[in-house]
Amino acid sequence: MKVLRHFVLAVGAMVALTAAAEQPDAVITSIREAYSQAQAAVKQNKGKGNEMVTTMRYTVRGSGLTTEVLHFFYVTTEGTYLLNEGDTRDPHFNYDPLNLVTRSYNIGTKKFYEEYLFEPESQRLLFVLMQGYDDNGRRYERRFYYKERELYKFVGTEATDFEKECVAYQADELLHAFDWLMRNPKE
Protein backbone atom coordinates (compact mmCIF):
# COMPACT_ATOMS: atom_id res chain seq x y z
CA MET A 1 0.00 0.00 0.00
CA LYS A 2 2.83 2.39 0.88
CA VAL A 3 4.63 1.59 -2.36
CA LEU A 4 1.46 2.27 -4.34
CA ARG A 5 1.01 5.64 -2.61
CA HIS A 6 4.63 6.64 -3.41
CA PHE A 7 4.17 5.51 -7.00
CA VAL A 8 0.97 7.58 -7.38
CA LEU A 9 2.66 10.63 -5.83
CA ALA A 10 5.68 10.24 -8.13
CA VAL A 11 3.49 9.93 -11.23
CA GLY A 12 1.43 12.95 -10.10
CA ALA A 13 4.60 15.01 -9.62
CA MET A 14 5.89 14.04 -13.08
CA VAL A 15 2.57 14.98 -14.68
CA ALA A 16 2.57 18.34 -12.87
CA LEU A 17 6.17 19.07 -13.96
CA THR A 18 5.42 18.10 -17.54
CA ALA A 19 2.35 20.34 -17.62
CA ALA A 20 4.34 23.24 -16.15
CA ALA A 21 7.13 22.75 -18.70
CA GLU A 22 4.64 22.90 -21.58
CA GLN A 23 3.14 26.24 -20.50
CA PRO A 24 4.29 28.97 -22.88
CA ASP A 25 6.23 31.87 -21.43
CA ALA A 26 3.79 34.81 -21.29
CA VAL A 27 6.51 37.43 -21.88
CA ILE A 28 7.88 35.66 -24.96
CA THR A 29 4.37 35.04 -26.26
CA SER A 30 3.46 38.74 -25.96
CA ILE A 31 6.69 39.78 -27.71
CA ARG A 32 6.05 37.32 -30.54
CA GLU A 33 2.52 38.69 -30.87
CA ALA A 34 3.86 42.27 -31.03
CA TYR A 35 6.38 41.16 -33.66
CA SER A 36 3.63 39.55 -35.76
CA GLN A 37 1.54 42.71 -35.50
CA ALA A 38 4.50 44.86 -36.55
CA GLN A 39 5.21 42.60 -39.55
CA ALA A 40 1.53 42.75 -40.56
CA ALA A 41 1.52 46.56 -40.27
CA VAL A 42 4.69 46.79 -42.39
CA LYS A 43 3.13 44.61 -45.07
CA GLN A 44 -0.17 46.53 -45.00
CA ASN A 45 1.43 50.00 -45.06
CA LYS A 46 4.25 49.29 -47.55
CA GLY A 47 4.60 52.32 -49.78
CA LYS A 48 1.87 54.33 -47.99
CA GLY A 49 4.11 56.32 -45.66
CA ASN A 50 4.97 55.31 -42.11
CA GLU A 51 8.40 54.20 -43.26
CA MET A 52 11.73 55.85 -43.88
CA VAL A 53 14.77 54.37 -45.61
CA THR A 54 18.30 55.64 -45.14
CA THR A 55 21.18 54.27 -47.20
CA MET A 56 24.80 54.90 -46.27
CA ARG A 57 27.95 53.97 -48.14
CA TYR A 58 31.31 53.97 -46.41
CA THR A 59 34.60 52.11 -46.40
CA VAL A 60 35.50 49.58 -43.72
CA ARG A 61 39.25 49.40 -43.33
CA GLY A 62 40.57 46.18 -44.83
CA SER A 63 37.16 45.12 -46.19
CA GLY A 64 36.31 47.78 -48.77
CA LEU A 65 33.06 49.52 -49.57
CA THR A 66 30.08 48.85 -47.31
CA THR A 67 26.47 49.70 -48.04
CA GLU A 68 24.19 49.93 -45.03
CA VAL A 69 20.41 50.25 -45.32
CA LEU A 70 18.30 51.30 -42.34
CA HIS A 71 14.56 50.86 -42.77
CA PHE A 72 12.48 52.55 -40.08
CA PHE A 73 8.80 51.62 -39.70
CA TYR A 74 6.70 53.82 -37.46
CA VAL A 75 3.14 54.47 -36.36
CA THR A 76 1.57 57.88 -36.93
CA THR A 77 -0.56 59.12 -34.06
CA GLU A 78 -2.59 62.26 -34.53
CA GLY A 79 -4.23 64.27 -31.79
CA THR A 80 -4.85 67.65 -30.29
CA TYR A 81 -3.40 69.51 -27.34
CA LEU A 82 -5.66 70.90 -24.66
CA LEU A 83 -4.79 74.58 -24.90
CA ASN A 84 -5.52 77.34 -22.41
CA GLU A 85 -7.48 80.36 -23.57
CA GLY A 86 -5.18 82.76 -25.43
CA ASP A 87 -2.61 80.07 -26.32
CA THR A 88 -1.51 80.68 -29.92
CA ARG A 89 0.09 77.31 -30.61
CA ASP A 90 -1.36 75.00 -33.24
CA PRO A 91 -3.58 72.62 -31.26
CA HIS A 92 -2.83 69.65 -33.53
CA PHE A 93 0.15 67.35 -33.35
CA ASN A 94 1.63 64.35 -35.07
CA TYR A 95 3.69 61.90 -33.11
CA ASP A 96 5.53 59.14 -34.93
CA PRO A 97 6.66 56.42 -32.52
CA LEU A 98 9.13 53.90 -33.88
CA ASN A 99 7.91 50.31 -34.17
CA LEU A 100 10.43 48.29 -36.18
CA VAL A 101 13.88 48.88 -37.66
CA THR A 102 15.64 46.61 -40.12
CA ARG A 103 19.34 47.05 -40.73
CA SER A 104 21.25 45.28 -43.47
CA TYR A 105 24.88 45.77 -44.39
CA ASN A 106 27.92 43.99 -45.72
CA ILE A 107 31.49 43.79 -44.57
CA GLY A 108 33.45 42.50 -47.52
CA THR A 109 31.43 39.62 -48.95
CA LYS A 110 29.67 38.83 -45.66
CA LYS A 111 26.09 40.04 -45.31
CA PHE A 112 24.59 41.02 -41.95
CA TYR A 113 20.94 41.55 -41.04
CA GLU A 114 19.29 42.90 -37.89
CA GLU A 115 15.77 43.71 -36.68
CA TYR A 116 14.83 45.85 -33.70
CA LEU A 117 11.26 45.80 -32.37
CA PHE A 118 10.06 48.65 -30.16
CA GLU A 119 6.82 49.02 -28.26
CA PRO A 120 5.20 52.07 -29.91
CA GLU A 121 3.54 53.41 -26.75
CA SER A 122 6.62 53.41 -24.50
CA GLN A 123 9.43 53.16 -27.11
CA ARG A 124 10.92 50.32 -25.05
CA LEU A 125 13.00 47.73 -26.83
CA LEU A 126 11.19 44.38 -27.01
CA PHE A 127 13.15 42.18 -29.39
CA VAL A 128 16.30 42.05 -31.50
CA LEU A 129 17.20 39.56 -34.22
CA MET A 130 20.81 39.46 -35.41
CA GLN A 131 22.21 37.39 -38.27
CA GLY A 132 25.88 37.64 -39.01
CA TYR A 133 29.30 36.03 -38.70
CA ASP A 134 31.50 35.41 -35.69
CA ASP A 135 35.26 36.03 -35.56
CA ASN A 136 35.87 32.57 -37.05
CA GLY A 137 33.66 33.27 -40.07
CA ARG A 138 30.80 31.02 -38.93
CA ARG A 139 27.24 32.21 -39.58
CA TYR A 140 25.11 32.87 -36.49
CA GLU A 141 21.61 33.92 -35.49
CA ARG A 142 20.83 35.50 -32.15
CA ARG A 143 17.52 36.53 -30.62
CA PHE A 144 17.28 38.94 -27.69
CA TYR A 145 14.00 39.32 -25.78
CA TYR A 146 13.61 42.31 -23.45
CA LYS A 147 11.29 43.04 -20.54
CA GLU A 148 11.27 46.39 -18.73
CA ARG A 149 14.48 47.51 -20.50
CA GLU A 150 16.41 44.44 -19.32
CA LEU A 151 17.48 41.37 -21.29
CA TYR A 152 14.88 38.73 -20.42
CA LYS A 153 15.95 35.83 -22.63
CA PHE A 154 18.72 35.16 -25.10
CA VAL A 155 18.49 32.45 -27.78
CA GLY A 156 21.15 31.52 -30.31
CA THR A 157 24.86 31.25 -30.83
CA GLU A 158 26.77 32.25 -27.70
CA ALA A 159 27.42 35.96 -27.17
CA THR A 160 29.63 37.68 -24.63
CA ASP A 161 28.18 40.03 -22.02
CA PHE A 162 29.79 42.91 -23.89
CA GLU A 163 28.09 41.88 -27.14
CA LYS A 164 24.75 41.68 -25.32
CA GLU A 165 25.25 45.19 -23.91
CA CYS A 166 26.17 46.50 -27.37
CA VAL A 167 22.83 45.28 -28.75
CA ALA A 168 20.85 47.42 -26.31
CA TYR A 169 23.18 50.37 -26.97
CA GLN A 170 22.75 49.97 -30.75
CA ALA A 171 18.95 49.89 -30.34
CA ASP A 172 19.07 53.09 -28.31
CA GLU A 173 21.24 54.76 -30.96
CA LEU A 174 18.77 53.75 -33.70
CA LEU A 175 15.93 55.22 -31.66
CA HIS A 176 17.82 58.52 -31.30
CA ALA A 177 18.79 58.53 -35.00
CA PHE A 178 15.16 58.03 -35.99
CA ASP A 179 14.04 60.85 -33.71
CA TRP A 180 16.69 63.17 -35.13
CA LEU A 181 15.83 62.29 -38.74
CA MET A 182 12.11 62.87 -38.13
CA ARG A 183 12.78 66.28 -36.58
CA ASN A 184 15.35 67.32 -39.23
CA PRO A 185 14.13 65.85 -42.53
CA LYS A 186 16.04 68.27 -44.78
CA GLU A 187 19.48 67.70 -43.30
**Quick one: pLDDT at residue 183?**
74
Whether the full predicted model's pTM is greater than 0.75, yes or no, is yes
Q: Which residues are CB-neighbours of 71 under 8 A, at least 6 positions away?
A: 51, 52, 53, 101, 102, 103
Nearest to 34 by CA among 165, 151, 122, 96: 122
Pair 76, 94: CB distance under 8 Å:
yes
CA 103 to each of CA 78, 96, 183, 185: distance values in angstroms, whole numbers, following the listed order? 27, 19, 21, 20
Pair 9, 16: CB distance under 8 Å:
no
**Quick one: pLDDT at residue 168?**
93
Task: Give the number of C-alpha atoms closer than 13 A to the C-alpha of residue 174, restricted to the C-beta side.
Answer: 31
- Tell me what the pLDDT averaged over the chain comes to: 84
**Quick one: pLDDT at residue 4?**
54
The answer on pLDDT for 186 being more than 70 is no
pLDDT tens for 102-124 read 999 998 889 999 999 999 888 99
The answer on pLDDT for 70 being more than 90 is yes
Q: In the predicted model, what is the mean pLDDT of residues 17-28?
A: 71
pLDDT confidence of 13, banded at 50, 70, 90? Answer: low
Phi and psi (nearest 5°) for 183? -85, -20
Torsion angle of the four alpha carbons 77, 37, 40, 95, in this order, in degrees rounded to the nearest 10 = 10
The answer on pLDDT for 10 being more than 70 is no
The answer on pLDDT for 181 being more than 60 is yes
Rg (CA), the chain: 23
Percent of the chain with pLDDT over 90: 51
Q: In the predicted model, what is the mean pLDDT of residues 77-106?
A: 76
125-133 and 92-95 beta bridge pairing: unpaired
Q: In the predicted model, what is the mean pLDDT of residues 10-16?
A: 53
The answer on pLDDT for 35 being more than 70 is yes
**Quick one: pLDDT at residue 90?**
65
> Which of the pair, 155 or 3, is modelled with greater confidence?
155
Question: d(Cα 182, Cα 74) in Å, to the nearest integer?
Answer: 11
